[in-house]
Chain A
Amino acid sequence: DIVMTQSPVSLPVTPGEPASISCRSSQSLLYSNGYNYLDWYVQKPGQSPQLLIYLGSNRASGVPDRFSGSGSGTDFSLKISRVEAEDVGVYYCMQALETPQTFGQGTRLEIK
């Protein structure tokens, strides 16, 4: 199985400041079609997870442009250019390259 490792585990951020979460996979998520099969999800308190970024760098519908995904192969990151209070939650990366699909352990973003 592909192991997904996120860092940090906890991320306190001041509103208006940037934030970055790292995700590393145990094997490359770059497929022969040129796409990286890496998604980012956020689970806000008391809610279902929601898709933020798919195929490494594509924002899902309705996701603000302050969120961006980058990386290739085994190293990926999610960046928030200016954190807002509504961004509080747990962020997960997930590989969609092969089954079993696997998630990182999550990064809890909190507001300072």
Chain B
Amino acid sequence: VQMVQSGAEVKEPGASVKVSCQASGYTFTHFVIGWVRQAPGQGLEWMGYISTYNGNTDYAQNLRGRITMSRDTSKNTAYMELRNLKSDDTAMYYCARGHEDGDYSYAYWGQGTLVTVSS
């Protein structure tokens, strides 16, 4: 199993970013994909998850209205788009796949995508 994320991004405040997460080594639609971020020097923050089977999503309350998670099953890829970026969105963003025995335990993680928001 591998989760490979897109490369680092630098964005201005107010812009949008879309991070991709390409999965391999398993049947893509069998497991949820969650997104977690980590601001510099800080702990882990759950952002939400997407059911790769039917596209259903659940987002953290503090991000609703600015975040969209989606997937393309033909490409085995999940996406996380964050709009109207602010400086405190500067963070490492991780995708992670659910576990076989616990859907919302995250067994496999991407390498992380650094998003820097700066003018």
Chain A residue at minimal CB-CB distance from B62: A100
A contact residues, total (Cβ < 8 Å): 26
- Could you say which of A37, A60, A105 has the most chain B C-beta atoms within 10 Å of its C-beta? A60
Verify if A55 is at the interface (C-beta below 8 Å from B). yes
Closest CB in chain A relative to B93 CB, distance in Å: 11
B residues 76-119 touching A (CB-CB < 8 Å): 94, 96, 99, 101-102, 104-107, 109-112
Docked complex Cα distance between A87 and B46 (Å): 24
Q: A32 within 8 Å of B by Cβ?
A: no
Q: Which of A37, A41, A48 contacts B112 (CB 8 A)?
A: A48
The residue that B45 contacts in the complex, of A35, A41, A103, with Cβ under 8 A, is A103
Number of interface residues, chain B, beta carbon within 8 A: 24
With an 8 A cutoff between CB atoms, is B58 at the interface? yes
- Any A CB within 8 A of the CB of B36: yes
Measured between C-beta atoms, what is the minimum distance from A106 to chain B in Å? 5
Whether, in the assembled complex, B8 has its beta carbon less than 8 Å from a beta carbon of chain A, the answer is no
- Residues of chain A lying within 8 A (CB to CB) of residue B111: 48
Residues of B within 8 A of A (CB): 34, 36, 43-46, 48-49, 58, 60-61, 94, 96, 99, 101-102, 104-107, 109-112
